[in-house]
Amino acid sequence: MSAATAKLLLTVEEAADLLNIGRTTVYALIRTGQITSVRVGRLRRLRPADIEAYTAHLTATAETV
């Protein structure tokens, strides 16, 4: 995806697709503070950088175990 077409904010569904997990799991990760999200009106949106930070944390945790 080029910089011109990259999304600034993703829906919960798009984030779930990227992570290969369910939508309710993404909401649970948001609720527990493991993934940061922003509210746009009544909607939740996630920054791609926050999803990358979450996956980096998972990778770092897995490497130390």
CA 31 to chain CA centroid, nearest Å:
12
Provide the H-helix boundaries in 1-65. 12-19, 23-31, 48-64
What is the value of pTM for the model shown?
0.84
- Note the pLDDT tens digit of each residue in 39-62: 999 999 999 999 999 999 999 988
- Note the pLDDT tens digit of each residue in 19-30: 999 999 999 999
Name the residue ranges covered by the structural domains of the chain.
Answer: 12-64
